[in-house]
Structure 1
Amino acid sequence: MTLVDFFAPTRSETAAHLDSAVWPSDARYNAEGRIVVGGVALADIAETYGTAARVLDEREVRQRCRAYRKAFPEAEIAYAATALLIGAVADWITNEGLSVVVCSAGELIAAFDAGVDPKRIILHANGVSRETLEVAVARRVGRIVVGSLAEIDLLAAAAARPQRVLLRVVPGIDQDSAPDNPAGFPLGAATAAAVARVLGTPMLDLIGLHCHLGSQIYNPDHYGEAIRRMVAEMALVRHDHDRILTDLDLGGGHAIAYRNGDAEMNLTELSAIIEDALDAACARQHFPRPNIALEPGRGIVARAGVTLYRVLSVKYSDGGHVSVVIDSETRTRTGTFAGVVVANRRAGGPLVTATVAGRAGDIILATDARLPADLRPGELLAVPCTGAYQHGSPRTRVIAVREGHYAQLVRREPTLLDRDAS
């Protein structure tokens, strides 16, 4: 932005509505011009609990669960707890019929503490200790996913009773999004050796294969190709070992929009691709149709979350650049969130492009936020689509909203900056 752009009287763009691509479906402006989510004005939440605060719309989470159940009526939907796992969220998703995927001792304990049925828990063994595996086996966790020979051996040593196992493989699918470099066995000799190792271990019951193609994948064809390769591998296991694997877990990684225009995974298209690929692959291999599981995380909770911050300062440079400092130390995705808006009033004048940063100065929340030109310290900013993976240090308070009611789920941890301020 130039100085001319900043002061030009013809610049009349205003924030007229909330972007449905990133906000909860029931988010709106009320008669006073304040943003309302779950029937509660965000400004009221900020006044009650302070900021920074993450607001979770229970209705949105449940609707997302139901959308997956509707799109994949014959599949198991297992929520990837790494996205966000607190007791209330676990309760919401399990009440909607979802299972839970955990990837650490902390997540496993949180799932147990939330009362999740162990049979509905899938544990990924990558990076997990023997003690954690022993607890998982003793508590009769439904499935444990292993992706290396070391994990197989560790689980074998920890298993004092029979344990159902999924073998994590890497099908080698090229993706449009950046790969996560997941643990797993490449299809071929490595997978064959792993299958033999598990089948040769008395306490491990190999029931199927698992794959994870990456994150923010919006092209459903990748999953179709993965199915074709995975079913072929399952048929090879039957041929070599006379063993029919009954389960195929396709992982998660479904893309969601962080800003308007971002590509998203279309669940209807994904469902059709999966069905067609299963029919074709099973017919070609003369293989019985396996039980399918999917592991969405951000696809369930991301759009349900809105994070609130107070404006601490607004600075205008000689070149017209605007810098906004907020009360946050949250470590988040630098520059991702362009949908930052003022929550305590409806902007009615011209907008400017601003950089929004935490008070430490080195954590950039947004680089191109469109905010009111008359933004003032003390006002409230809201950042949509922050329900998943927004891990902060300190831990940000979490507030649940539903039908006009709200309650604190997680308290905020104090920081040295708070002590200095007092």
Structure 2
Amino acid sequence: MSAASSASTPVPAWLVRPADANELVAEVWPGSARRDDDGAVTVGGVSAVALAEQYGTPLYVLDEDDVRLRARRTLAAFQSAASRHGVSARVYYAGKAFLSTEVVRWVADEGLAVDVCTGGELAIAMAAGADPARLGFHGNNKSVAELERAVEVGIGSIVIDSLVEVERLAAIVAGRDTVQPVLIRVNSGVHAETHDFLATAHEDQKFGFTLADAPAVAARIREIEGLRLVGLHCHIGSQIFGTAGFAESASRLVALHADLLAGGDLPVLNLGGGFGIAYTSADVTTPIEDLATGIVEAVARECGARDIPIPNLAFEPGRSIVGPAGVTLYTVGTTKPVALAASATRLYVSVDGGMSDNARPSLYGAQYSARIASRESIAEPALVRVVGKHCESGDIVVDAEYLPADVEPGDLLAVPATGAYCFSLSNNYNYVPRPPVIAVRAGEARVIVRGETIDDLLARDCGVTALTNEGIA
């Protein structure tokens, strides 16, 4: 079937029929992913078959070395780009992408700071032993309790998102022998070319202040003795390829930065994250070194045009560090061919997970890839849709993919690029327990987040009074 889409064919224009439906496209999979002599996919030197046998499925698998390598490479790229202009760069790992104590330790080991946006994320970072001075706190509705805890532990910076928050912080720092550094989140008006729900810098949305409103906010912060305004922050969206959006946003932020210098120093400009990754073979990513160079040079140009010093820079990647390192394993339960037209058939492949472990396709229409992970096949590629077990027609894991036509119940299926936002958005819809997270490295596997059991789900139901081996007594 042609890859060109039409009204009568289910094949999207970007999806190309592969010559080999067993191939692991390097850009999409963790760097360690390959097939062993038996044809099984291995990650971090550990076989998918062995992982499924030991831990069951669905199963989140995270390549520790891949996460560490991407963290190191990202930090080096931005520090190098900044140093060429005589300033420093700090890289925060955006914890919302995936957070556990182990991942906090990995990125901290590699020199990254950590960005959190709730009291729970702050608690995880602190439990991991993170230096609170190297934490940043985001969020559009930080509670008084969350802000009190952040100030109490000595958090490095708080990103201000509303005037209500300014006054909450003013009350918290009053009478304390401390000065809390803060940044102002600003909407630059640049709308990244991405899904509407992922774009977070256009003005009609919940985050931050407009460029016009920010000066008044800055003036109020500077009136408060226990607060120190250290800079501006902007995040233009997620899953962004290229530097054009960042450059345009930087030009507007630098103009505001220059105006605010009249009221005092602003040593930091935080340009957020949102760097895109490859989910399918059609995605062409931008090397992080090119992104870093392009973004920093844009800031330098704008500062030069205004004859002001370049501030120190900060960035907040999450998906680009942890996303490609993750693979989710499923077991195929049923397969079912569905005739769509006289010349078009789609094979529905149902797996034992779905929108409870990966909500992104349902939320955003996100595209993913898939491969049989337990074996290789010489069967011709067949068009498939991988779906979950939930009672929703929108419970789609992979909307369109080519798998060997002999995919069958009992096969292991691997979906790559699931390290970001899958675990973070996981849920118990239809009372499905959330899967464990397994870290792999150098041929060894270990649990870093315990999976849930049916007993865990029942334990939260106050109407359950007793349990037997069969379930509810």
Residue from 265, 274, 284 that aligns with 1:244: 265
Partner in structure 1 of residue 357 of structure 2: 330
Change (3 A) 1:262 1:106: same
Q: Show the counterpart of 1:392.
A: 426
Residues 317, 125 of structure 1: alpha-carbon distance in 2 compared, 3 angstrom cutoff: closer
On the 8 A contact 1:125/1:151 being kept in 2, the answer is no
Aligned-pair RMSD on alpha carbons?
A: 2.3
Equivalent-residue separation in structure 1 for 2:347 and 2:457 (angstroms):
26
TM-score, normalised with respect to structure 2? 0.83
The Cα of 1:125 is off from its aligned counterpart by: 4.2
Deviations 1:383-418 (A, max 9, x none): 000000012223221000001000011121124999
Identity %: 39
Q: Which amino acid in 1 is paired with 2:444?
A: H
Residue of structure 2 equivalent to 1:224: 247
Picking from 187, 205, 222, the partner of 2:211 is 187
| Pairwise CA distance, 1:173 | 1.6
- Are 2:441 and 1:402 equivalent residues in the alignment? yes
Give the match for residue 23 of structure 1.
Answer: 29
1:95 to 109, 117, 126: 109
Which residue of the partner structure matches residue 152 of structure 1?
166
CA contact (8 A) 2:191 2:237 kept: no
CA-CA distance at 1:361 after TM superposition: 4.3
Relative distance call for 1:298 and 1:101 in structure 2 (3 A) is same
**Is the CA contact (8 Å cut-off) linking 1:12 and 1:349 kept in structure 2?**
no
Is it true that 1:339 corresponds to 2:362 in the alignment? no
- Report the Cα offset of residue 266 of structure 1: 3.3
Distance 2:18 2:162 in 1: 58
**Structure 1 unaligned spans of 5+:** 6-10
Q: Is the deviation greater in 278-287 or in 247-256?
A: 278-287
| Distance (whole Å) between structure 2 residues aligned to residue 418 and residue 150 of structure 1 | 37
TM-score, length-scaled by structure 1: 0.92
Question: What's the CA shift for 1:229?
Answer: 1.9
Given the superposition, is the C-alpha separation of residues 164 and 16 from structure 1 closer, same or farther in structure 2, using an over 3 Å criterion?
Answer: same
Q: Which amino acid aligns with 1:359?
A: K
**Once the 2 structures are TM-superposed, how far is the Cα of residue 220 of structure 1 from its aligned partner?**
0.4
Aligned to 1:137: 151
Matches within 5 A, 1:98-117: 98-117=112-131
SS at match of 1:151: helix
**Distance in structure 2 (CA, Å) of the matches to 1:52 and 1:281:** 49
- Which residue does 2:190 correspond to in 1? 173
Whole-Å separation in 1 of the counterparts to 2:388 and 2:455: 15
Distance 2:335 2:20 in 1: 19
**Partner Cα separation in structure 1 for residue 151 and residue 18 of structure 2:** 63
The change in CA–CA distance for 1:14 and 1:280 in structure 2 (over 3 A counts) is: closer
| Structure 2 Cα separation of the partners of residues 313 and 418 of structure 1 | 26
Query: Structure 1, residues 243-267: CA drift from partner, whole Å, max 9, x if none?
Result: 0100010011111121112243432
Matched AA of 2:270: D
Match of 1:354 in 2: 384
Equivalent position of 1:413 in the other structure: 452
| Structure 1 residues 12 and 272: CA distance shift in structure 2, 3 A | closer
Tell me the alpha carbon deviations over residues 107-139 of structure 1, each in whole angstroms, 9 at most, x when there is no partner: 011111111100010001421110111111010
Query: Residues 54-97 of structure 1: CA distance to partner in whole angstroms, max 9, x if unpaired?
Result: 00000110111112122111411100000000011111100000
Change (3 A) 1:15 1:418: farther
Worse overlay, 149-158 or 294-303: 149-158
Compared CA separation, residues 389 and 375, structure 1 to 2 (3 A) = same
- Alignment partners' CA distance in 1, 2:390 and 2:47: 28
Counterpart CA distance in 1 for 2:53 and 2:182 is 49
Q: Is the 8 A contact 1:255 1:263 kept in 2?
A: no
1:65 paired with 2:71, answer: yes
Partner of 2:181: 164
CA deviation after TM superposition for structure 1 residue 98, in Å: 0.3
Deviates more, 1:229-238 or 1:314-323: 314-323
Q: CA deviation at 1:37?
A: 0.6
Question: What's the CA shift string for 1:151-197, capped at 9, x where partnerless?
Answer: 11112122233100011111112432242335111112x11110111
